[in-house]
Amino acid sequence: MAEPTNRRFLLRTRPEGRVKRSDFELSEQPVPTPAPGEVVLRTRYLSLDPTNRIWMTDVEQYMPPVAIGEVMRGLGIGEVVASASPDHKVGDLFSGLVGWQDYIAVVPKAPGWIQLPSGLPVPLPAMLGALGMTGLTAYFGLMELGKPRAGETVVVSAAAGAVGSVVGQIAKLQGCHVVGIAGGPEKCAFLRELGFDAAIDYKAEGWKAALAAACPRGIDIDFENVGGDIMNTVMARMNLHGRVVLCGLISGYNSDQRPTGPFDTILMKRLRVEGFIILDYLPRAMEGVMQLSQWMMAGKLRHHDTIVDGLEQAPEALNMLFDGKNTGKLLIKVS
Ligand SMILES: NC(=O)c1ccc[n+]([C@@H]2O[C@H](COP(=O)([O-])OP(=O)(O)OC[C@H]3O[C@@H](n4cnc5c(N)ncnc54)[C@H](OP(=O)(O)O)[C@@H]3O)[C@@H](O)[C@H]2O)c1
């Protein structure tokens, strides 16, 4: 049998517009061996996130962009296949920045690596979805910035995606009237199945009137994942002193134009618009995971995912986020 190798996607050129396979080089090197204190992880699942596209671009952002020639950065779950750490054994599972590659040697005690409990009662992908960074983004973004109160109206964009689908479910648990915006009738049916009070297909004619009809008492909280026309339309229907959780602006990530916002609406309606990056809440991650797990175990929170097979699919699969081809969390099953 051939020796296993470590396939790695190196960033070769900064993408213009959509990501292309030719923006990367797929290089192979020997599987690393662990230095004292290290373990070697074999990637099991890779999380594909809209922010991967931001990391490829040389603009000011919350982390340094990936350098040309570097392994593409990516969050994932890896399983220990070799250990030179007395505290960790083959089979242990870790979540962290595994990168777009098959294997990585890491110091498991270094910041950023989280060991997953053994005997997980949920499928592994949920640990990157509703119980992982995605769930934490939804939980802290909504609860800390949105501060939902029972009876308020919450609108979520990209609602059938990873973060949006969890935001809507949490907002329902807070007793809110929840309206999701998503592309297409299947995604809208999925939102109703999750318990959203209304689902608006922004690709259908008359969606703005449908949004108004679904929010008869106006909008108190906009959990914003998309930006552009969708954000402007939602903000125009907000109540005085409404809150906008500015979580993402995916409609602009493939563009080199800076996004603009409806500052006149923000002024006239005295909205509170707050930018949010989940990294600021990682010191409180355990609190979020405990709450999300309790809801999941009680059958009150569902994880849903779209899984693509094979590391080699990563660049093309990333575009699925921009084409709306995922429902719930988009992942690559690597091994
Ligand atoms: N601030 C943070 O810390 C943080 C953390 C995680 C994620 N985020 C942000 O949260 C947002 C959602 O991320 P996610 O990981 O949960 O991805 P996701 O929602 O699972 O996938 C992206 C979805 O966005 C929608 N979309 C893409 N382009 C669009 C466009 N031009 N107009 C309208 N909708 C569009 C698509 O759904 P449709 O089929 O409905 O169009 C697609 O399925 C992103 O903006 C991301 O950057 C922020």
Q: What's the CA-to-centroid distance between 70 and ligand 1, angstroms?
A: 25
Residue 22 — pLDDT band, cuts 50, 70, 90? very high
Q: What's the CA-to-centroid distance between 3 and ligand 1, angstroms?
A: 39
CA distances from 229 to 152, 185, 225, 259 (A): 23, 20, 12, 11
Q: What's the CA-to-centroid distance between 253 and ligand 1, angstroms?
A: 10
pLDDT in tens, 192-247: 999 999 999 999 999 999 999 999 999 999 999 999 999 999 999 999 999 999 99
Rounded to whole angstroms, the Cα distance separating 42 from 16 reads: 31
Per-residue pLDDT, 120: 87
Per-residue pLDDT, 256: 87
Per-residue pLDDT, 234: 98
- Does the CB atom of residue 224 touch ligand 1 within 6 A? no
The number of the ligand 1 atom at minimal distance from the alpha carbon of 330 is 20
pTM, entire model = 0.98
Average pLDDT over residues 22-49: 98
Task: Tell me the residue length of the chain.
Answer: 335
Per-residue pLDDT, 118: 87
pLDDT in tens, 50-73: 999 999 999 999 999 999 999 999
Average pLDDT over residues 144-157: 98
Closest CA to 23 of 39, 12, 35: 12
Per-residue pLDDT, 2: 76
* C-alpha triplet 309, 314, 317: angle, nearest 5°: 80
- Does the CB atom of residue 327 touch ligand 1 within 6 A? no
Q: What's the CA-to-centroid distance between 187 and ligand 1, angstroms?
A: 13
* Residue carrying the six token digits 């993408």: 15
* Residue 26, beta-bridge partner list: 9
Q: What's the CA-to-centroid distance between 142 and ligand 1, angstroms?
A: 15
- Does the CB atom of residue 251 touch ligand 1 within 6 A? yes
DSSP secondary structure letters along 24-91: EEEEEEEPP-PPTT-EEEEEEEEE--HHHHHHTS-S--SSPPPPTTSBPP--EEEEEEEE--TT--TT
Q: 162-173 and 185-193 are packed helices; what angle lies between their axes, rounded to 10 degrees?
A: 40
Write down all domains in the chain, each with its CATH number in brackets. 5-129+304-333 (3.90.180.10), 133-279 (3.40.50.720)
The 3-state DSSP class for residue 100 equals coil
Question: At 225, which amino acid appears?
Answer: N
pLDDT in tens, 164-183: 999 999 999 999 999 999 99
Q: Is the pLDDT of residue 1 over 70?
A: no
Average pLDDT value over all residues in the chain: 97
- Does the CB atom of residue 79 touch ligand 1 within 6 A? no
- Does the CB atom of residue 51 touch ligand 1 within 6 A? yes
